[in-house]
Each structure stands twice: as C-alpha cells, then as structure tokens.
Structure 1
C-alpha cells in the first residue's frame, strides 16, 4: 500500500475510529484479574494514541511532501548504481552534449495531487550512476502551433530534506499558480522540472559529488539537464536554465548556480543556508573540507573568475536572510544577488511561506533567464 495514497490515508482514519470505539464499548466489560484488566485498558489507550499519531503523520506528510515511499520513510532507499570519481567538473571527461540523443518516455503523473499536466519518468543517469524519477510540467504555450519552433527556458526545482520531488507541484502548486500567469504573459513560459533528490535513504546528499558515495551534482546538473534537452523543446544554453529550491534544496540551488555558470544562469534560494553544517544529515557536513567545498559563499569568495550568475535569496532573520546578505557582500560583477527579507510571523520555515513566494520568484526568473 502506497505511503502517500488515498487507501492508506483512509486506513488510518478507519483505525482511529476503531481505536475510539474500542474503549467506549469494552472498557467496563473487561474481565479477569485486576492486572489483566489494567493491561488490556492500557493497550486500548496506546492503540488509540498510535493510530492518532499515524493519521496526523499521514496528513502532515501528504501536505508537505516529505516522504514519497516507505523506503524514503524508513531510510532504506538507494538510488545510486555507481559513484565513480567524475573529476572537478562532474563529467568524468565526457561531453554530455556530444552524447547520442535519447528521448525519454514520459507518462502522466500517477499522483493526481500534483495537478494537471505533470508527467513522470524514471531516468537512469548515464554519467552520474543515479537512477530516479523526474517530473516535468510543460507551459500552456508548448503545444500552441504558434510556438512549434520555439525552445523554452527551464527551471529545475528542488525540495528540502526530507522532501519529495512532487512537493513543488503538490504542495507549492507551482503549475497551478503559473499557468494563468503564463497565459496572461506575466511570466515566461518555463518548463518546470522536478528530479528526485533523496538518493541515499535517510542521508542528505547536499547535491554533491562524493566519490564512492553519490554523484548528486552530476545527476541534477548534467544527466537530468541532458534528458530534458533531448526529450523536449528546451533551451540548451546556460542562459535558458535556472535552479530553485527551498530549505536544503535552497542550499543546493545556490551551490549549483555558482558552481556551474556554464549550466545555469540563475539560482533561487528560499530559506536556505550557506554552510552545510546547518543540515546535520548532510554528507557535506561531515568534514571541514567538504563544508568549505560545498559552501556557496566560499565558492564565491574564492572564485578566480566571478560566475555570470544571478541569485535570488529570501529568508527570515536567522533563516536564510543573513546568509543571503553574506552572498551579496561577496558577489563581484557579473554575479548579482538580490536578497529579500521574510517578516517575522509570516509563517516560519514552512511550505506555506514558499508557496506564496512562487509568483514573485518566477517574475524575477523571467527577467534573468532568456528563452
């Protein structure tokens, strides 16, 4: 039974009802020695608490897009086939653009909570050694005959950790919010791509390449990118690509954008952080060397050539805002950083805040990304 499916949710509701009915009907009818009666009644109370907690967990999980599968929840999922050393640029010396074109087969997304128009596929990364699902939503102009020769800009969207690749569609409703805006010409007609980022069970990869562990950076910035340009009428140059994320995904988005200006023109960080020590479950927080190597602030400060990258960073006091100011101070032309403060009491570190930011984020991306 699917963790996020309706049958499991209805099962938890039914169990809660049973747990409430049991003590109401059997409490005074319990027979036997005093100790036995106490044990039976205690079990009924514990059963009631357990079922209530299970139902609340399912509601919270489905609302916030935390865990997709039982493997994700139990930390037993592994989407890494191989993790060879791919070198500083994460390509292993291969030119992804020169690889043969492979059109990936997509089907309508099975989870209807993601809204209309979302497609899904399971991709085997040719360079990264990662395998996982990827969700894609095409703008309303994509099938318009007037746009048949048009290539569209792309935004790769990343969730937090734990987090589901479905969350940007299901919880933040990015496609539902953007469709009318695109039809009115308020924002550019972006292709929105949401790849799996939970690759190693209960470990946050930090969207990094760590030989012997995972090549998450290459999965996101090379394999997924190549699949999209092979399969859809998508812009191939960096000027037509952006990456956006919230929480741990925000850290990833900033890091990928400043690390790969040859792949992304812009990055959006919503309530993120610079130093990965802010995410204890992250692989990149394990050693000082990894922390420095995967800190977007350090990358900017030590870049021999400032990256041609635009960053949009938002957050509350102590939750992304100071990190954004540090990035802005370190940035040198042509790097640009726009920092937006989220007022205290606006909703805290949660999907309700990030959902409200979607229109402003895509208006900003329309000014930064060409296509």
Structure 2
C-alpha cells in the first residue's frame, strides 16, 4: 500500500483507536507501583502518542502532498527527470552591494577559478524601492583570465513561499549542480541569481504589481536584472536571461517569462500553479480589478492575450502532485498558440518537496542553458 493510500490512513486510525481502547482496558491492571506496571503505562502512552502523530502526519501528507511514496519519504527516490519537448513544431542599474562571499567546495579546491563563488548581496530596486537580499553564484569561468571579456547568461532562481534563499544552495543544490553540469560539458557556464519571491515579507505578493502596494512584478522584470547587469558581466541582450522556481517561485517564473519575454527568454516552473491565490498570506492582490486578476491567471493569459515569444518548461508528477491535470491542460493550451514553446518533465511519482525538485533541477538547468545566448 502506498504512502498516500486511503487504506494506510484508515489502518493508522484504526490502530490508534485500538491502542486507546487497549490503554483504557489495561490501565487498572497496570495501577501497581512495580517497575513492570510503570513501564507498561509508559509504553502504552508512548505507543498511543506515536500512533496519533502518525495519523496526523499521514493526513497532512494527503492534504498537502509533501511526499508521494515511501521511497520519496525516506529519500530513496532518486531517478532523474527527463525534459520532453511539447512544442507544436517539434549599463544603468540599480544598487547592488556584496555583503559576503562563500567558497564552493567542489572539484580540486575552493578557489573561485576552480570551483566558482557564491556572493551574498543586498539589492534595492531603483524604480520600485524594493529591497531584498539574494545570493549570486559565479561560475569558475567568471574568474578565469581567458573569459575576462566575456559576458555570461544568467538565470533568476526563486524559492517557494515562504522559503529561504539559503535552501536553494543547501537543500536544492543549484550552484553545485550548475558547476557539475558545466564541468561535464552538459551546460554552458551560467550565473545564478538566487532569492525568494517574497520580496515584501511577510506578505506573499505572488510577483504581482499590487495597486497601491509593492510593485513586485516590476522589481523582477526591471530592477533585478538592471542591478545585476550593472555589477556583473551579464548581458542584457534578448535571450540572455532565464528564470526558474519551485511552487510559488514556479508560478512567478512562468508568469514573468510570459509577461516579459523581452527580458526572460526562458521560464521554468517546478511544481507550479497557474493562478495567483487569494488568501490571508496574500491579501487583496488586485483591489477588485478583474483585468489584473485575469492577467495573473496564466491559463487565461495564454488563451486571451497575444502569445509571447518565449520558452516555457513545466514539471509535475502523475502521483503526488496536485497540479498534474492542470499542467497537462496548460501544455495543450500553450501548444495551440504555435508561438510560445513548451517543454515538460513529468515524473511517475514525486511529492511537492525538495527531493522531487532535486530530481528535476539537472534537466531543467540543461534545458535553460540551451536556450540562453552565449555572448
């Protein structure tokens, strides 16, 4: 029986109920002060509590889709995702300040020329005045003399909500994966700009320009690229920038690539959704303006607005992801445009969690690297 099976949940509940009934029935017999009686009472209470926690965990996993299988739960699901092409036809910048550096411990050592470097930066948007921290991964080639005049393609990498930018490094291993892929010749060297989509915390802005509120879409479409281009050897020419994210970050990545194809030549959504939610974490994002609400609905946009000249990648799982059917519909709707290019990674099994995204990231970075210009 699978982890997400209703039978597993029902059996766990029955087991917890039996333990509770057994505890009530046996408690008078264990009322003595002998060490065996005390040990029996402690064992029954502990077993009952563990059974209740197991029930709660299984119910939460079914509700939110954290893990799709027992192998997924215990980190044993490690088969890599494969990109399938679903296309119909087969220096004026904002302020950026480096506040710290982190050496990459890869290959033959930690020197930037060999392993690359991660820089922690603070960014303030010139037009939106949004301030946010970020991490910048610079590949080894950035520091090598033969590449001193070269500009590099760049990819913005977004977490989910609330998420932490550090998790992109320590949990999802974006820099390490990019370094290994480039070192093996499977991807061109690329700069990664890693941050949260939550640039106006604690509010979840869903990368929307909120009327009278944070202009987060403008920040990602203009201020962020301007700031990075002004500080690093990154090209601003069409085709130089991509964007990728998971969950909320995946929705943002797709939306920004669709709304701003002149900036982002490729957008990849790992386990994305396709419509901005309205809940206590977001507040009223659109202030009653239906036009803004429609524009933030990616499926509405692809059917009613001019198709953008960009490349999109979406991922899901047949078992474990709630967005599977919506993802298939989105693929069909994009294909019908004959202009926007669409690819996908569909796993047989994988929940909405880090382990699943780690399986998809190598293929995603290769896909993106192949679509960004080398200058």
Instruction: Output the TM-score relative to the length of structure 1.
Output: 0.67
TM-aligned CA distance change 1:196 to 1:342, over 3 Å? same
Q: Is the 8 A contact 2:94 2:125 kept in 1?
A: no
- Distance in 1, matches of 2:138 and 2:315, equals 26
Query: How far is the alpha carbon of 1:296 from its aligned partner?
Result: 1.6
Residue 315 in 1 paired to residue 320 in 2?
Answer: no
Tell me the residue number matched to 2:17: none
Residue 334 in 1 paired to residue 336 in 2?
Answer: no
Residue 156 in 1 paired to residue 148 in 2?
Answer: no
- Distance in 2, matches of 1:160 and 1:144, equals 34
- Distance in 2, matches of 1:138 and 1:300, equals 34
Q: Is the 8 A contact 1:160 1:245 kept in 2?
A: yes
CA deviations 1:141-170 (Å, max 9, x no partner) are: 111112112111100001000111222112
Task: Out of 358-367 and 239-248, give the one that drifted further.
Answer: 358-367
Partner-residue secondary structure (3-state), 2:193: strand
CA deviations 1:92-133 (Å, max 9, x no partner) are: xxxxx6x4x5673314347999x9721012111111120111
Q: Is the 8 A contact 2:159 2:195 kept in 1?
A: no
Counterpart pick for 1:302 among 301, 304, 309: 304
- Distance in 2, matches of 1:266 and 1:175, equals 19
Tell me the residue number matched to 1:94: none
Query: How far is the alpha carbon of 1:337 from its aligned partner?
Result: 0.9
Q: Is the 8 A contact 2:250 2:270 kept in 1?
A: yes
Task: Out of 103-112 and 223-232, give the one that drifted further.
Answer: 103-112
Tell me the residue number matched to 1:210: 210
Q: Is the 8 A contact 1:243 1:267 kept in 2?
A: yes
Partner-residue secondary structure (3-state), 2:363: helix
Counterpart pick for 1:356 among 338, 355, 359: 359
Residue correspondence of structure 1 range 1-371 to structure 2 within 5 A? 99=92, 101=93, 104-109=96-101, 117-277=117-277, 281-283=281-283, 284=285, 289=290, 290-304=292-306, 306-317=307-318, 318-331=321-334, 332-344=337-349, 346=350, 348-371=351-374
Instruction: Answer with 1 or 2: which has the greater Rg.
Output: 2
Q: Is the 8 A contact 2:197 2:252 kept in 1?
A: no
TM-aligned CA distance change 1:204 to 1:154, over 3 Å? same
Query: How far is the alpha carbon of 1:287 from its aligned partner?
Result: 5.3
- Distance in 1, matches of 2:140 and 2:348, equals 34
Task: Out of 355-364 and 256-265, give the one that drifted further.
Answer: 355-364
Q: Is the 8 A contact 1:109 1:135 kept in 2?
A: no
TM-aligned CA distance change 1:103 to 1:183, over 3 Å? farther
Partner-residue secondary structure (3-state), 2:264: coil
- Distance in 2, matches of 1:134 and 1:276, equals 23
Instruction: Output the TM-score relative to the length of structure 2.
Output: 0.66
Q: Is the 8 A contact 1:159 1:246 kept in 2?
A: yes
Give the unaligned 5+ runs of structure 1.
1-48, 54-96
TM-aligned CA distance change 1:199 to 1:180, over 3 Å? closer
Partner-residue secondary structure (3-state), 1:333: coil
Determine which structure has greater relative contact order: mean sequence separation of CA pairs < 8 Å that are 6+ residues apart, divided by chain length. 2
Partner-residue secondary structure (3-state), 1:353: helix
- Distance in 2, matches of 1:279 and 1:339, equals 29
TM-aligned CA distance change 1:337 to 1:279, over 3 Å? farther
TM-aligned CA distance change 1:288 to 1:212, over 3 Å? closer
What number of residue pairs does the alignment pair up?
272
- Distance in 2, matches of 1:167 and 1:186, equals 24
Partner-residue secondary structure (3-state), 1:273: coil
